[in-house]
Chain A
C-alpha cells in the first residue's frame, strides 16, 4: 500500500487563532480513516484545507504526489477528491437523478453539457442503487428527508468517481435506523475507495472504524486502531476533561 494523501507541517491561522498547529498525517490507498476530536480540534478545518476551501499559513498537502495547496476547489475535485458537508447541501429544485447526473458529468466537455440528458447513465444508476433512492429518482431533492439527503450527498460523491472521499459527520442528526444504513453504505463504499470520515458518534465509530486519528487543539494527539485509541489515557483525558469543563 502506498500513501495517497500526505500532509506535512500544516498550520492554519484565523485572525491570530491557530486552528491547526502543525499536523502531519498520512492516509494510504484504500484506507478507511476516522478523524475524531472534541469541538475546535481542527477536524473540519483540516478537510477544508485539503479541499481548497481554506488556505493554510504553512505546510503542504500532497495527493498522489500532487501539491494541493493553492489549487481552487473545483480543480481539487477534478484531481479526484470529493467531500460532503456537515449540513447537507443538495440542489432542492433538481430531481434526485439530476443531482447525481450533475455530479457524474463534470468530466464532460462543455459542448457536451449543452445537450439534454437522455435517460440515466450507468454511473448514476449504480449510485442510485447504492444509496437506495431508485424509487425517488424523479422527485425533486427538496422533498427528501434529512437522512435521504445525506445519502444523496454520498451518492453524488460516488457518482463523481473520486479516489478519496471526505465525509464530514455523515450520521449527525440521523435516526438509529438511518445510522445503520449509513454504516452499511460506508462499508460498501470503503471496499473500493479511500475514505476519511469525521465523526462524533462513538458507537458508530466502534462499529465501523478501523484506523482512527484523534485531533486536539490543532495537533494530532493519537493515531491507531479503535481499541488502542479508546484505551489511550490522553484521549480519555481530552474527552473527559472537556466534559468536566463543560459541566462546570
Chain B
C-alpha cells in the first residue's frame, strides 16, 4: 500500500512540476514551446500504445494528428468568418460557397466531437481492412507510411477546400480568447498538460487491464492468440483506433497552442520522427514514449538554434546508437542500471518487476 501511495506521490510531483513550477519559472515563449512538445507527447503516448504494447509500427500517425487538427482549425476558421462568411483562404482560392463537409464544423460541439471521432473512424476503417487480412509487421508499417504520403498530397492538392500547403492559420478568436495573448497561451498550456495527464492515466489503466495483457500477447504471438479464442484483428483495430484518437486530440490542442495546422506537420517525416522519439525514450513503457517525445523535440529546437545541419547528424547518430545498443530506449537503460545496482546490493534479486526480456518482434 505504501508503494502505491509513493507511486501516486511521484505522479503528483510530476504534475506539480508541470502545472505549477514550469508556468512560474519558464518565460511565456518557452512555456508555449513546452505546450507544443506536450502535444507531441500525446501522439507519442498513442504510438507507445500501438507500437510498444501492440507491435503495430504505425508510421502514419500524422494523418490522425492532422484530422484532429483540421477539425479544430475548420471550426476556428468558420468562427472567425462569422455566420455565412467564408474562410479567408477560400476567398483567394476562388471558392464561393462553403463546401458541404465544412458546414457541420461551424458548430463547436460537432467540431470537438469530430476531433476524436473522425480519426477513430478512419483508424477503425483502415484497421478493419488491413488487420482482418492479416497485413502486419513491415507491410503495415509501409502502408501506414504510404497513407501519410497520400493524405498530404490530397490535402495540398485540394487547396480551395483545405488551404493547401499553407494549411489553416491566422485565427483571431479561440473560444473567446486572443490566441496570441500570453494568458491564452498559458491556459492552453494547462489544458494540454491536463489532457496528457489524464490520457496517460487512462493508457496505463488500459495496459494493466486484461485487454492490455491481451495486446502484449497479440504483439508477441498474434497467431497463437487466435487459438485462445480471440480475434487479434479486433484487438489491434481497437488499439489502433485509440492511438488515432489520441493523435487527433493532440492535433486539436496543437492548433490553439501554435496557431496553425498545415500539411508539413502530417507527412512521412514528422510521423517517423515521433516514432523515433518513442524508440529513444523507451517504447515498452508509456512514460518512455512521453519522455522521448519531449526530449527529442526539446533537443531539436535547442540544436537547430545552434547549428542547423548538425541536428540531422545528431538525430541520425543518436538513433543508430539507441537502436543498436539500447533497443529499449532511455527507460530500458534506466531499468538495466537499476537492476544492476539492485543485484549488487542484494544478490538474490526479487523479481517483483522483472525487466522486459529481450523481445523478438513477430516477423511479417
Direct contact of A and B (CB under 8 A): yes
| Residue B343, interface by CB 8 Å | no
| Residue B81, interface by CB 8 Å | no
Q: What CA separation (Å) do A101 and B216 show in the bound complex?
A: 14
Using a Cβ cutoff of 8 Å, how many contacts connect chains A and B? 82
Query: What sequence of 0s and 1s flags, for each residue 222-237 of chain B, a beta carbon within 8 Å of any chain A beta carbon?
Result: 0110111111001000
Write out the residue numbers on chain A whose beta carbons fall within 8 Å of the beta carbon of B354: 140
CB pair B206–A114 under 8 Å, yes or no, is: yes
| Residue B357, interface by CB 8 Å | yes
CB pair B226–A72 under 8 Å, yes or no, is: yes
Known: A92-B357, A108-B210. A139 touches B351 (CB 8 A): yes
Chain A, range 105-134, C-beta contacts under 8 Å to B: 105-108, 110, 112-117
| Residue B220, interface by CB 8 Å | yes
Known: A51-B227, A74-B226, A93-B216. A105 touches B357 (CB 8 A): no
CB pair A77–B226 under 8 Å, yes or no, is: yes
- Least Cβ–Cβ distance between A113 and chain B, in angstroms: 4
CB pair B226–A73 under 8 Å, yes or no, is: yes
**Total number of B residues with any Cβ neighbor in A under 8 Å:** 27
| Residue B359, interface by CB 8 Å | yes
Write out the residue numbers on chain B whose beta carbons fall within 8 Å of the beta carbon of A115: 209-210
Chain B, range 304-361, C-beta contacts under 8 Å to A: 351, 354, 356-357, 359
Known: A93-B216, A93-B357, A140-B354. A116 touches B210 (CB 8 A): yes
Q: What CA separation (Å) do A226 and B206 show in the bound complex?
A: 51
Chain B, range 115-145, C-beta contacts under 8 Å to A: none
CB pair A101–B231 under 8 Å, yes or no, is: no
| Residue B208, interface by CB 8 Å | yes
Write out the residue numbers on chain A whose beta carbons fall within 8 Å of the beta carbon of B210: 101-102, 105, 108, 112-117
| Residue B214, interface by CB 8 Å | yes
CB pair B211–A93 under 8 Å, yes or no, is: no
Write out the residue numbers on chain A whose beta carbons fall within 8 Å of the beta carbon of B191: none
- Least Cβ–Cβ distance between B241 and chain A, in angstroms: 13
Write out the residue numbers on chain A whose beta carbons fall within 8 Å of the beta carbon of B208: 116
Write out the residue numbers on chain A whose beta carbons fall within 8 Å of the beta carbon of B82: none
| Residue B213, interface by CB 8 Å | yes
| Residue B9, interface by CB 8 Å | no
CB pair B221–A89 under 8 Å, yes or no, is: yes
CB pair A73–B214 under 8 Å, yes or no, is: no
Write out the residue numbers on chain A whose beta carbons fall within 8 Å of the beta carbon of B227: 51, 73-74, 77, 82-83
Given contacts A83-B227, A94-B213, 18 further A-B contacts (CB under 8 A): A72-B226, A74-B229, A74-B230, A77-B227, A82-B227, A91-B217, A91-B220, A94-B216, A101-B213, A102-B217, A106-B228, A106-B229, A110-B238, A117-B209, A138-B351, A139-B351, A140-B351, A160-B228
| Interface pairs (21), CB distance under 8 Å | A73-B227, A74-B226, A74-B228, A77-B229, A78-B229, A82-B227, A91-B216, A91-B220, A91-B224, A92-B220, A101-B210, A102-B213, A103-B228, A106-B230, A107-B229, A110-B234, A113-B214, A115-B210, A116-B208, A142-B357, A156-B228
